[in-house]
């Protein structure tokens, strides 16, 4: 099938030199050639920028942030200049299969959003992977399926989907006021709005996105400072939900309020998750206290099992 669509790939980069060559090469070597690769260097302090600049491909567009803005604002810079009819997001420590874009374009059928599979590298036998919404979903049923009916099975992040660029630009306009450096749940609000605005969605089962285990990723570091930053970010994102609560276009959606409540619950759940690891001198250990509280927002059997293990190991079990 012959396509004329241009596809934008947006890659925010911060100190991922170990993975960056493979990530960029997976875009350059796509079998479908009509792409632009927008790489935003978010003021890396390693040699990531020199790696980016070593590539000689006129499809690469480089943005150099003057300071470290965080992933959300870095992506926002890429969204602003994206010129393709479709776009997708790639984290700079991950990569795409080299026929991904062609497979997606062969499947789009004039949709706003197409879901595809994500797989871990190295493979994890019991890894939790996002549900792929392969059925054709229309209008209000998109948010209903993803954010309500199958909420606990969804990954509310931007990767693992390809979007109409204009849809993403329109969604970003709703939260253009965000100017905060975010390290946690930074995709959540934008993806939520995309689901509310989208009119047609499909999916394919193929695993096209390779999620690489990066132990140095900022989301994996559990220093007390980082944990508090995660908490602060999610509290801030809850305030963003309040600011967009009365947006006329969004609130006309049948499932807007219910979807928004689920997003708020998810943020509260992850606030509790971070608080589990904050040191305190309370009689009830923080791990137990906030594990129990988190069940109020997102009941999960895994949380119950881990809490029981923690209690019977007298807090010495590393979870």
Summarised one tens digit per residue, pLDDT across range 102-131 is 999 999 888 999 999 999 988 776 677 788
Task: Give per-residue pLDDT as tens, 233-260.
Answer: 999 999 999 999 999 999 999 999 999 9
Long-range CB pairs of 306-310, under 8 A, 24+ apart, other chains included: 310/285
Q: What is the rounded average pLDDT for all residues in the chain?
A: 91
Whether pLDDT at 177 is above 70: yes
Poorest-confidence range of 185-194, 218-227, 262-271?
Answer: 218-227
**Whole-number pLDDT of residue 311:** 66
- 3 state DSSP class of 210: strand
Exposure string over 90-108, b if 16+ CB within 10 A, otherwise e:
bbbbbbbbbebbbbbbebb
Q: Residues with Cβ < 8 Å from 137, sequence gap 6 or more? A: 145, 200, 201, 202
Q: What is the mean pLDDT of residues 284-297?
A: 82
Q: Crossing angle for the helix pair 256-275 and 286-294, nearest 10 degrees?
A: 170
- Say what the pTM is: 0.91
> Which alpha helices (DSSP H) does the chain contain, by range?
17-28, 48-54, 71-81, 100-105, 140-143, 165-174, 188-197, 224-244, 248-251, 256-275, 286-294, 301-312
Query: Can you tell me the distance from the alpha carbon of 188 to that of 193, in angstroms, rounded to the nearest whole number?
Result: 9
Query: In the chain, pLDDT over 90 holds for what percent of residues?
Result: 74
Q: Tokens standing for 261?
A: 């409540």
**Whole-number pLDDT of residue 316:** 58
Whether pLDDT at 211 is above 90: yes
Query: Can you tell me the distance from the alpha carbon of 132 to that of 114, in angstroms, rounded to the nearest whole number?
Result: 9
- The confidence band for 203, taking pLDDT boundaries of 50, 70 and 90, is very high
- The confidence band for 6, taking pLDDT boundaries of 50, 70 and 90, is very high
Contact between 233 and 186 under an 8 Å Cβ cutoff? The reply is yes
Pairing of strands 113-121, 161-164: antiparallel
**Whole-number pLDDT of residue 309:** 75
**Whole-number pLDDT of residue 69:** 96
Let me know if domain 7-212 sits in CATH 3.90.550.10: yes
**Whole-number pLDDT of residue 93:** 95
Can you give the residue ranges of every domain in the chain?
Answer: 7-212, 224-312
């Amino acid at each position: 099938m012959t396509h004329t669509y241009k596809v934008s790939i947006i890659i925010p980069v911060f100190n991922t030199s170990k993975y960056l060559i493979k990530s960029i090469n997976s875009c350059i070597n796509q079998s479908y050639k009509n792409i632009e690769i927008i790489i935003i260097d978010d003021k890396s302090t390693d040699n990531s920028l020199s790696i980016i600049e070593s590539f000689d491909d006129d499809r690469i567009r480089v943005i150099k942030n003057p300071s470290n803005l965080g992933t959300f604002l870095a992506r926002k810079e890429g969204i602003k200049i994206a010129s393709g009819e479709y776009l997708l997001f790639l984290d700079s420590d991950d990569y795409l299969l080299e026929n991904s874009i062609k497979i997606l374009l062969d499947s789009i059928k004039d949709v706003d959003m197409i879901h595809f599979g994500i797989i871990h590298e190295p493979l994890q036998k019991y890894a939790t992977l996002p549900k792929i919404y392969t059925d054709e979903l229309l209008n209000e049923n998109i948010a209903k399926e993803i954010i309500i009916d199958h909420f606990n099975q969804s990954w509310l992040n931007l990767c693992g989907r390809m979007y109409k660029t204009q849809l993403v630009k329109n969604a970003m306009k709703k939260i253009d006021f965000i100017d905060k450096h975010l390290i946690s749940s930074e995709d959540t609000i934008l993806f939520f709005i995309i689901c509310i605005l989208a009119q047609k969605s499909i999916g394919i089962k193929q695993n096209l996105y390779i999620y690489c285990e990066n132990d140095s990723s900022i989301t994996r570091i559990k220093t007390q400072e980082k944990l508090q930053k995660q908490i602060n970010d999610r509290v801030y994102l809850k305030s963003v939900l309040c600011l967009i609560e009365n947006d006329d276009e969004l609130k006309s959606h049948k499932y807007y309020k219910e979807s928004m409540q689920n997003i708020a619950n998810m943020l509260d759940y992850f606030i509790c998750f971070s608080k589990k690891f904050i040191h305190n001198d309370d009689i009830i250990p923080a791990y137990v206290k906030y594990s129990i509280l988190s069940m109020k927002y997102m009941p999960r059997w895994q949380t119950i099992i881990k809490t029981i293990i923690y209690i019977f190991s007298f807090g010495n079990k590393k979870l």
